[in-house]
Amino acid sequence: MMGLSWVTDAAGMHVLEAQLRSADGVAILRHGMNICGLLFLWQVFSHCCPPLLLAGWSAALIGATAIAIGLDRHRRRANNAGVGPSDLRRHALGALLQGLVWGACMGLIARSGQTEQLVALWTLVSCIMVCGAISYAATPFSATAYLLPCILGLFFMFDDGGQLPLRALATSYALSLLAGCFIYARTFARQHSTSAQLAEKSEVVSLLLREYEVGGSDWLWQTDALRRINGVSSRFAETLGMAPAELEGASLVQILAGSGWDNGRFAAGLHSLADHLKRRESFSNLVLPVEIKGQWRWWELSASPRHDENGIFLGFRGVGSDVTAQRESADKIAQLARFDPLTGLPNRSHLREVLDQAMETARGRSPGCGFMMIDLDRFKAINDTLGHQIGDKLLSQVARRLRQVCDAGEFCGRIGGDEFAVVLPHVADGAVIPRLASAIIGALSAPYQVDQHMLHVGASVGSALSPMDGRESEALIRSADLALYRAKDDGGGVHCAYEPQLHAQAEERRQLELALREALEKDQLHVLYQPVVDTDQGVVLGFEALVRWTHPQLGAISPVKFVPVAEEARLIGPIGEWVLRTACMEAANWPDDVRIAVNVSAEQLAHPSFVTAVVSALAQSGLEARRLELEVTESVFMGEDMGALKVLDQLLALGIQLSLDDFGTGYSSLGYLSRTRFNTIKIDRSFVVGASKNTAESLAIIRAVVTLADSLGMTTTAEGVETEAELQMVRRLGCKKVQGYYFGRPMLPEDAARLFPAPQRAAIG
């Protein structure tokens, strides 16, 4: 600001140029005042001052003014281009010369004139100082150079001792002018510095906007107060496929409406845009469809109203972008979120939405809406044997058949896995659901051709009807699920409608599961032992360990009731391992030739740590491996899973005996016997009862099993022998071992020990 240091920033240069332009703008005032002061001196003081003195002073004033004008002329000729601090200093030099001339004037005229003329001189000097302060206000260095000699001249003008108050007043006046110049210069510099920064930022913004408009994916747009497009940007016109001249002055809403402008069918987003424009309010991220040359695109617009300095509304200015790709992507994501990608059917959440809407519509009507749950029978076996790829193709065919069976008013979808569902928004009569269920079971049970495989699956259906079976969608789904559960329990391939007792049974099952978990934690389970006897000699060869449960409040609970619950609740593994450990610990106290048989489920065999658990049970009890017999059913071989066979081979390698339980009642494949070296085949009681009644089929099956076992080096155990006649019959047929109530019911460990001969019991004791 003073010109005493180098200026390096653009804002400083802008202020410096502004200072010099301001000083140049009022230079004519300063020069005019000098001329007026010169004429005033000749008019007032020519009679008291020597003419030669006045002439010399006048020449000095004219010379100083000429020098000042000369110093500034070169700079002004270059239009102040490239000015620097040195130009301020040269400008101050011209001011100093003029200030010195006027300071000398005060001393010379005061000494030559009369005291009464001193007032006239002070009047002239005060005017000169005010004029100088005004003309040099923007350049404080020049103002200082001009006023300081004047202040010094005041001391010579009021040099009389009696004029001390006048000198003090005049000096204060001059210093006040100088201080005013500094205050003004500071304000001047701040204003122009701010203006320079704003101009720079405005230039940057303009540059960014130009680059944004040219290279960006978005564009700028604006309208006038009548909602007509003006100031059309090239990007905006290019996006619409029109020339800027065509868009200038056109209605924004009409352009965006496209062909809808003629027929009056506007998108909701366009209505929203028109409302915002009408109310003159800002909006952002407004998405609307726009027709461009017959194709629909999605635009996102944001804008704010424009006003002039008087608050008059000028229109809108905003930014727009084409979000068609993002919209299509969002629609695709929404499609994936509501539809199953494999079958193309509505997924669980979409089904739930439709069911909620249907129940709301049917509220107060009876019957209301229906809900059906469908589960494929035997699908898991196909998935396990042929792989998930074949299973997925099968599910796709199932979905196509389900679509064909359902009418337009029936909404079908996939819940997940091999479960499907159908929503019936309006059920006219009670026969609609059974008729549709029968059609679904028939359609889905027909053979499927998948690649080179001919596949057969069935379908089970459970249904529920509002409001009787549930007034809310969650309750209706639960009811249909319970009905489906009942259909699966009935063997599958059937339709079951919900009945109130199903809920009671499900609740009883749930309570039973909770109680069973508690029983496992609180040791409420116990093991009973049923003897296995030699058919010819009648001596005890071993025992089968059977788990039993006595509830503190409910009493004894049948295994037929709690074992299926344990299997569903994935408790059969922990229970089976506990039975194994308990039985091994008890059998370790028996004679060395007595075995213990323990049932093993398919879930236990599938567990990676099962073999380790068996080894641990043997080690902790001290029981020899040859005395442990594990009983498995044919179900462990389903699914073509070779893992179970490997586990059985590992158990055989340890010296453990294997028994195939319930042979002939399950899948009855002789291939199982060739895959694993079983030690014993157990004949189910149903065949024993049939043979005792001379049923030819039962007799033939027992003979065949005995012959097969003998040829493979296995023994046979007949289960469920309860009478002497049944014992004699199985003995004649060749069974080596028998088990049943005839020899003893499942008994406590101490009762089992009494079956041993007295010497053996003494050894045990």
DSSP 560-580: HHHHHHHHHTT-HHHHHHHHH
Q: Which of 482, 498, 514 is the last residue of a domain?
A: 498
Q: 429 and 412, same structural domain?
A: yes
Q: 344 and 224, same structural domain?
A: no
Please list, residue by residue across 338-354, b when 16 or more beta carbons sit within 10 angstroms of its beta carbon and e when fewer do: ebbeebebbbbebbbeb
Domain assignment present for residue 482? The answer is yes
- Report how far residue 288's alpha carbon sits from residue 271's, in angstroms, rounded to the nearest whole number: 9
Q: 665 and 553, same structural domain?
A: yes
Please state the rounded mean pLDDT for residues 537-549.
92
Of 63-72, 314-323, 383-392, give the lowest mean pLDDT range.
63-72
Query: CB of 503 within 8 A of CB of 482?
Result: yes
Please state the rounded mean pLDDT for residues 205-213.
51
How much of the chain exceeds pLDDT 90, in percent?
29
Q: 310 and 191, same structural domain?
A: no
Domain assignment present for residue 515? The answer is no
| pLDDT greater than 60 at residue 224 | yes
- Report how far residue 599's alpha carbon sits from residue 660's, in angstroms, rounded to the nearest whole number: 10
Question: What's the pLDDT score for residue 188?
Answer: 78
| pLDDT greater than 80 at residue 194 | no
Domain assignment present for residue 505? The answer is no
Q: How confident is the model at residue 618 (pLDDT cuts 50, 70, 90)?
A: very high
| pLDDT greater than 50 at residue 208 | no
- Amino acid code (one letter) for 34: N
Which of helix, strand or coil describes residue 380? helix
Query: CB of 496 within 8 A of CB of 490?
Result: yes
Question: What's the pLDDT score for residue 56?
Answer: 85
pTM: predicted TM-score of the whole model, two decimal places? 0.50
Q: 647 and 555, same structural domain?
A: yes
- Amino acid code (one letter) for 598: V
Please state the rounded mean pLDDT for residues 445-459.
92
Of 31-40, 330-339, 402-411, 545-554, give the lowest mean pLDDT range.
330-339
Query: CB of 480 within 8 A of CB of 371?
Result: yes
| pLDDT greater than 80 at residue 534 | yes
Kindly tell me the burial class for residue 556, based on how many C-beta atoms sit within 10 Å of its own C-beta (0-12, 13-18, 19 or more).
exposed
Indicate the average pLDDT of the chain: 83
Domain assignment present for residue 607? The answer is yes
| pLDDT greater than 80 at residue 197 | no
Query: Residue 238's domain spans which residues?
Result: 216-330
| pLDDT greater than 50 at residue 40 | yes
Question: What's the pLDDT score for residue 765?
Answer: 45
Domain assignment present for residue 206? The answer is no
Residue 704: Cβ within 10 Å count: 11
H helix or E strand, kind and range, residue 261: helix 260-263
Residue 502: Cβ within 10 Å count: 22
Question: What's the pLDDT score for residue 356?
Answer: 93
Q: Which of 330, 351, 377 is the last residue of a domain?
A: 330
Domain assignment present for residue 593? The answer is yes
Q: 399 and 303, same structural domain?
A: no
Query: CB of 273 within 8 A of CB of 256?
Result: yes
pLDDT digits (tens, 9 = 90+) for 14-24: 677 777 777 77
The full length of the chain comes to 765
CATH number at residue 683: 3.20.20.450
- Report how far residue 404's alpha carbon sits from residue 443's, in angstroms, rounded to the nearest whole number: 9
CATH number at residue 366: 3.30.70.270
Question: What's the pLDDT score for residue 630?
Answer: 94
E strands present in 309-443? 313-322, 370-377, 411-416, 419-424
Q: 598 and 692, same structural domain?
A: yes
Please state the rounded mean pLDDT for residues 371-388.
88
Q: 431 and 358, same structural domain?
A: yes
Q: 475 and 563, same structural domain?
A: no
Domain assignment present for residue 203? The answer is no
Residue 152: Cβ within 10 Å count: 17
Q: 735 and 590, same structural domain?
A: yes
Q: To which residue do tokens 């400008």 refer?
A: 91
Which of helix, strand or coil describes residue 608? coil
- Report how far residue 98's alpha carbon sits from residue 133's, in angstroms, rounded to the nearest whole number: 13
CATH number at residue 241: 3.30.450.20
Q: How confident is the model at residue 736 (pLDDT cuts 50, 70, 90)?
A: very high
- Report how far residue 224's alpha carbon sits from residue 222's, in angstroms, rounded to the nearest whole number: 7
Number of independent structural domains in the chain:
4
Q: 226 and 192, same structural domain?
A: no
Q: 297 and 170, same structural domain?
A: no
Domain assignment present for residue 615? The answer is yes
Q: Which of 305, 330, 355 is the last residue of a domain?
A: 330
Question: What's the pLDDT score for residue 763?
Answer: 44
Query: CB of 139 within 8 A of CB of 132?
Result: no
